[in-house]
């Protein structure tokens, strides 16, 4: 019988469990009221006198081994549960991190910058808080010029000479003041106008304006540059230029791109014509060159400007300009695939 008890001790040492239920079943098997310890203890009187001492020591060793095994298994299980509570199941697959989305304004701006960089245009930037000279006067808009009313301006109340820029043409003025021709630059950035906020307009929006100054620059150069741009961005090379007026260019034109009439949306956004206005352009007025320290006799150039928000709304079929500035996560997640 002593050998049988020793066999149980070996089994106890080898026993492993991964749940509390298995540990409890093991405890009952050896230490319960009807367990092996009590069974062997009751048979103590049947053991020969010369073996009683060894028998008793062996039974107690089995009991102690069973108690130690139960306690050690419980401690290991509790430690494992605590670690899982802190770190989770370390063997499970990792949780994928949510991928950010590039804002449609940034995506379109990057596309425009990339297209013009391929034909030699660099990027210039300037302050959003401007003075009257760079925003108006240097651009052939002297004080009390009626064309200033075309742009409802946010002026700083304590200093009427300081304002929030109404276009990024002010960046072009600064660039011409600090650089001599040849000049080939685009100026993306945020601009501000005191307009009512609606689905089609906002008090701030984004522009990209371009400038090319060199010897013998002609209107034909302007048209070919815009032809390349519209082909790359919209996939269509069909454009038209309509006469228009801008104080800082002469002659001036509005640029339309042929959008097509394939869907009901095309009819709606082009008002049934198939043509869509995307920007203004023209030859830089000699007065602007002179104001910026460039000889208008030796040099000529062209300029153009477009609204990034408007183009983003066209490319991604966004119906409300306010969506571009509300930081609505559900709206922005639609652009996860946009680079």
* pLDDT band for position 330 (cuts 50, 70, 90): confident
Q: Give me the helix-helix angle, 104-117 and 308-315, nearest 10°.
A: 110
- The per-residue pLDDT for 290 is 95
Beta strands in 117-269 (DSSP E): 122-123, 129-131, 155-156, 159-164, 183-192, 204-214, 239-246, 249-258
- Say if CB 184 and CB 120 are below 8 A apart: yes
If we measure between CA atoms, which residue out of 148, 126, 128 comes closest to residue 137?
A: 148
* pLDDT band for position 106 (cuts 50, 70, 90): very high
Q: Average pLDDT of 155-179? A: 90
- The per-residue pLDDT for 36 is 76
CA 163/CA 157 separation, integer angstroms: 9
Q: Average pLDDT of 310-322? A: 87
* Summary mean pLDDT of the chain: 86
Q: Average pLDDT of 6-34? A: 80
- Say if CB 140 and CB 288 are below 8 A apart: yes
- The per-residue pLDDT for 85 is 57
Alpha carbon 324 to its chain's center: 13
CA 284/CA 176 separation, integer angstroms: 12
Domain 104-335: homologous superfamily in CATH: Bira Bifunctional Protein; Domain 2 (3.30.930.10)
pLDDT above 60: residue 228: yes
CA 59/CA 278 separation, integer angstroms: 95
Flag whether the pTM goes above 0.85: no
Domain ranges of the chain: 2-87, 104-335
User: Which residue has better confidence, 310 or 269?
Assistant: 310
User: Which residue has better confidence, 35 or 256?
Assistant: 256
- The per-residue pLDDT for 102 is 85
């Amino acid at each position: 019988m002593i050998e049988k008890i020793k066999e149980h001790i070996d089994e106890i040492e080898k026993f492993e469990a991964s749940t509390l239920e298995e540990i409890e079943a093991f405890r009952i098997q050896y230490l319960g009221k009807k367990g092996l310890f009590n069974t062997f203890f009751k048979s103590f009187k049947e053991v020969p006198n010369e073996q009683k001492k060894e028998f008793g020591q062996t039974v107690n060793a089995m009991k102690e081994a069973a108690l130690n095994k139960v306690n050690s298994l419980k401690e290991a299980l509790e430690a494992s549960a605590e670690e899982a509570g802190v770190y989770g199941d370390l063997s499970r697959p990792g949780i994928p991190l949510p991928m950010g989305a590039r804002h449609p304004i940034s995506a379109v701006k990057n596309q425009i910058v990339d297209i013009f960089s391929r034909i030699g245009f660099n990027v210039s930037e300037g302050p959003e808080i401007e003075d009257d000279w760079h925003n108006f006067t240097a651009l052939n808009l002297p004080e009390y010029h009626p064309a200033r009313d075309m742009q409802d301006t946010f002026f700083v109340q304590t200093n009427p000479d300081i304002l929030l820029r109404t276009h990024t043409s002010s960046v072009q003025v600064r660039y011409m003041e600090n650089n001599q021709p040849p000049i080939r630059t685009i100026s993306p950035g945020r601009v501000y106008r005191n307009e009512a906020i609606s689905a089609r307009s906002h008090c701030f929006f984004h522009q990209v304006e371009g400038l090319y100054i060199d010897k013998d620059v002609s209107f034909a150069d302007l048209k070919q540059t815009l032809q390349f741009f519209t082909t790359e961005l919209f996939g269509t090379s069909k454009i038209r230029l309509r006469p228009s007026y801008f104080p800082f260019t002469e002659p001036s034109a509005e640029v339309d791109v042929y959008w097509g009439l394939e869907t009901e949306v095309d009819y709606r956004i082009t008002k049934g014509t198939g043509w869509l206005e995307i920007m203004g352009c023209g030859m830089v007025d000699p007065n602007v060159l002179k104001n910026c320290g460039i000889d208008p006799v030796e040099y000529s150039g062209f300029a153009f400007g477009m609204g990034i928000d408007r183009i983003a709304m066209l490319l991604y079929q966004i119906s409300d300009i306010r969506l571009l500035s509300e930081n609505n996560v559900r709206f922005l997640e639609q652009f996860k695939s946009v680079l």
